Amino acid sequence: MSQRPRIGVITNPNSRKNRHDPGRFEDMSHVLYGIGVLRRTTDTADIAEVVREFLDLGLDYWVADGGDGAFHWLTNALVQVRRERGDVDPMPALMPTNAGTIDFLGKRAGVIGSSVPLIRALVRTVRQGREPEVLTLGSARFVGQPHTDSEVKTVFDRIGFAAALAGLSQRIFDKFYAQDDQGAVGVVRVVVATLLSAATQSPLLRRVPFPLEMRHYCDSVFEPMPMDVWVDGQQLPGRTFRDCDVGAIDINLAGIFRFFPSATEPGRLHVQVGDPGPLDVARNLPYMARGKPLQIPDYFQGPAMSLRVVAREGRSIDPVIDGELFWGLSEVEVTPGPPIRVIRLKA
């Protein structure tokens, strides 16, 4: 008697990994034969239709073949479709596959291995009549209003796990994605280049003829962002901030930096907001590496249930959520989102 399909895998044929290895789709299809369903989507707008199919089939375990971004889009499509249907059934368990550039979600979930071996390990577990270990991760809900100049006029409503909302973290992501090396080395390169650039602007080195590109590399990163910020309904002092981040889980960024240590259980966020300068960042690199509280004057950091950010002076909030870039918001409110069931597995 054949076993009913229990696993669903969604993959993007246009991803870098699939373009470089066209045989991956056939490999996954062969591994899933008789117990899983494999679907390709070429656009994020197509994911909702696959989600509806997976829900109708009653698949128990869903795999996002990709990195943090792929997991982000699958999670959002699932939450949205369930919301539309008024679905109260238990949420299927999802699995990231460490096929991206940062993969902090896979690291946090304890998923060890790469896509095809992980899918093979999941299939083997299910065929043997065992259930994979599933843990629950907290999420955050981001609800934002579009800027008056934005082409998008609908309300922004997304689920995510960690976000650089504004300021230096968000701008470092911009520089990170603008380069070819999008791994751990790329993270280090951007941080080092930013701090070296800031050093060239110090009084001691200001007269040294450094290349203009190097000297001004950090300008946008440390530019103060005019905005008002409320944490748990209390407005923070200050009219400009150089950093505003929030996480629903504690994360390990490329194995180098650890953030959001207070986000250790579903239903609680970790917020960090302040006005750090270049010296503050340089001095706190060891604390970032160990995931310890940052030693920055007047820097808010710790657990919270809500964060509201409103841009001023015609500026927009352009958040980076789970490594995905979004643009053109006038304000954003962040609250705890639904708990997400995630598979923990070793290939």
- SS3 letters across 232-270: CCEECCCCEECEEEEECCCEEECCCEEECCCCCCCCCEE
Q: Look up residue 333 and give its two tokens.
A: 């409110």
Residues 272-284 have pLDDT tens digits of 999 999 999 999 9
Question: Number of C-alpha atoms within 13 angstroms, CB side, residue 140?
Answer: 34
Per-domain residue ranges of the chain: 7-131, 140-338
Of the pLDDT bands very low, low, confident and very high (cuts 50, 70, 90), residue 346 is very high
| pLDDT tens digits, one per residue of 172-225 | 999 998 887 777 888 999 999 999 999 999 998 988 999 999 999 999 999 999
CB 265 within 8 Å of CB 305: no
Residue 152's pLDDT band (boundaries 50, 70, 90)? low
181-202 as b/e: b if 16+ CB within 10 A: ebeeebbeebbebbbbbbbbee
| 311 touches 64 (CB < 8 A) | no
The mean pLDDT value for 145-171 works out to 89
Site of tokens 């450094």: 210
pLDDT at 288: 96
Asked whether the beta carbons of 28 and 119 are under 8 A apart, the reply is: yes
* pLDDT tens string 38-82: 999 989 999 999 999 999 999 999 999 988 999 999 999 999 999
- Cα(259)–Cα(263) distance, integer angstroms: 9
Beta strands 133-137; 324-325: pairing state: unpaired
The label of the residue with tokens 């981001």 reads 142
Task: Kindly give the interhelix angle for 24-32 and 115-127, rounded to the nearest 10 degrees.
Answer: 10
Reduced to 3 states (helix: H, G, I; strand: E, B; else coil), residue 182 is coil
Q: Please tell me the pTM assigned to this model.
A: 0.93
Give me the pLDDT at residue 45, please.
92
- 3-state SS string for 8-73: EEEECCCCHHHHHCCCHHHHHHHHHCCCEEEEECCCHHHHHHHHHHHHHHCCCEEEEECCHHHHHH
Start-to-end CA distance of the chain, whole Å, equals: 27
CATH topology of domain 140-338: Tumour Suppressor Smad4 (2.60.200)
| Neighbouring-strand partners of residue 61 | 7, 93
pLDDT tier, 18 (very low <50, low <70, confident <90, very high otherwise): low
Q: Whole-angstrom Cα distance, residue 69 to residue 64?
A: 9
CA distances from 280 to 153, 195, 198, 214, 276 (A): 38, 10, 12, 20, 6
Give the DSSP letter of residue 313: T
CATH fold, domain 7-131, is: Rossmann fold (3.40.50)
